[in-house]
Structure 1
Amino acid sequence: MSNVRDRRSERWPTHIAEKFVPTSYWTEDSEGNYLLDIDLPGFKHDEVRIEQESAGYIKVGGERVPDENKCIYIDQTFRLPENSDTENILGNFYGQHLCITVPKKIARNTADQSSHEKEEDHKDEVDNRENETKNEYEEGIKSSSDQTCRVPSSKKPNGKDSLLSIIINGVERNKGIVLSACISFAIGVWVSTNLWV
């Protein structure tokens, strides 16, 4: 811990500010993410903040007031590893220990291959679910508590009537919901006009 005795805190002008330099180290977890572990003794999670300062850097800052004359603050910037995914950084506070998880960027070729494989698997799952749903309705064994959630199709519509076809398909799939909404609306209009006349 390094001390700065003659400096006053901006937030606490009557307190002497003492800079705290925490111990920190980088590791990797089993999923291949980078982990930045920072020891922050005496700090609570609401006294610490994490900001992405610029491309490739994150800033950890915060302050706490241990007594009426002293303010301890942190203001440290950390350089991120080269292939870091800066959009998905996650920080967790465990007791007096801050763990920042920085995922690695996925290589473009493997991402394209895996997304293509996932798309094919997704199409197979959708087809299987639609067939199962048809069979259950045909057999009459589907109860109202056995509802399954529909997976949206990954096929993109083409042509000028694509919006209309999307709406028609949605209405056809959800006939019961649309019908009950229309009936509820009509009853509401009828009741409101009869009560106010």
Structure 2
Amino acid sequence: MSLIPQILSEVFPTFQSSDEISATANARIDWKETPEAHVFKADLPGLKKEEVKVEVEEGRVLKISGERAAEKEDKNDKWHRIERARGKFLRRFYLPENAKMDEVKAAMENGVLTVTVPKQEVKKPQLKTIEITA
């Protein structure tokens, strides 16, 4: 590893050198809001549900992480190109007040992870008029 990536990795702990192919850039996630829920869809081709984690942290933070392992190499193999991302990925989403974080559901089908966070009605603050006296 050259000196620049080493310095960057010390200053920015999440920095990964070009020697380490990271799947972070390829963990593409769509987030849509419907009247009933917040819905996240992540394309994670080749991953099994056991290789992906969906967690709730600090109240309203949805955390999606996992790792795509590198293929086993045989010393007789000669690679011409490596383009498929491998390595760890981590995405965090800070959800609004209306998210029911205790009812989060996740499903994975055909390499697509779908996380559904139901919504609750946010109570508007009651307005109380105060009489002004002299």
- Report the TM range for the smaller structure's normalisation: 0.5 to 0.7
> Can you give the 5+ residue segments of structure 2 that lack an aligned partner in the other structure?
1-15, 74-84, 125-134
1:56 to 52, 57, 60: 60
Count of paired positions: 98
94, 100, 115: which one aligns with 1:85:
100
Match for 1:103 among 115, 118, 126?
118
Which structure has more RCO (C-alpha within 8 Å, separation ≥ 6)? 2
- The 4+ residue runs of structure 1 with deviation greater than 4 A are none
Structure with more helix by fraction: 1
Structure 1 residue aligned with 2:29? 24
2:89 pairs with 1:74: yes
Q: Secondary structure at the match of 1:105?
A: coil
Question: Which residue of structure 2 lines up, in the alignment, with residue 40 of structure 1?
Answer: 44
Partner of 1:182: none
Q: Deviations over 1:7-37 (max 9, x none)?
A: xxxxxxxxx56232311122245x6111111
| 1:37 aligned counterpart, secondary structure | strand
- Aligned partners of 2:102 and 2:114: how far apart in 1? 17
RMSD: 2.8
Measured in 2, the distance between the counterparts of 1:38 and 1:82 equals 23
Q: 1:78 offset after TM fit, Å?
A: 1.4
Which has more strand, going by share of residues?
A: 2
Structure 1 residues without counterparts, runs of 5 or longer: 7-15, 110-197
Q: Which has the larger radius of gyration?
A: 1
Q: Shift in Å at residue 71 of structure 1?
A: 4.8
Task: Work out the CA distance in 2 between the residues paired with 1:79 and 1:68.
Answer: 36
1:82 aligned partner, one-letter code: E
Question: Secondary structure in 1 aligned to 2:50?
Answer: helix
Say whether the 8 Å CA contact 2:23–2:68 is kept in structure 1. no
- Indicate if the aligned counterparts of 1:44 and 1:95 stay in contact, CA closer than 8 A: no
Return the TM-score normalized by structure 2: 0.60
Q: Give the share of equivalent positions with the same residue, in percent.
A: 27
- How far does residue 42 in structure 1 lie from its aligned partner after superposition? 2.0
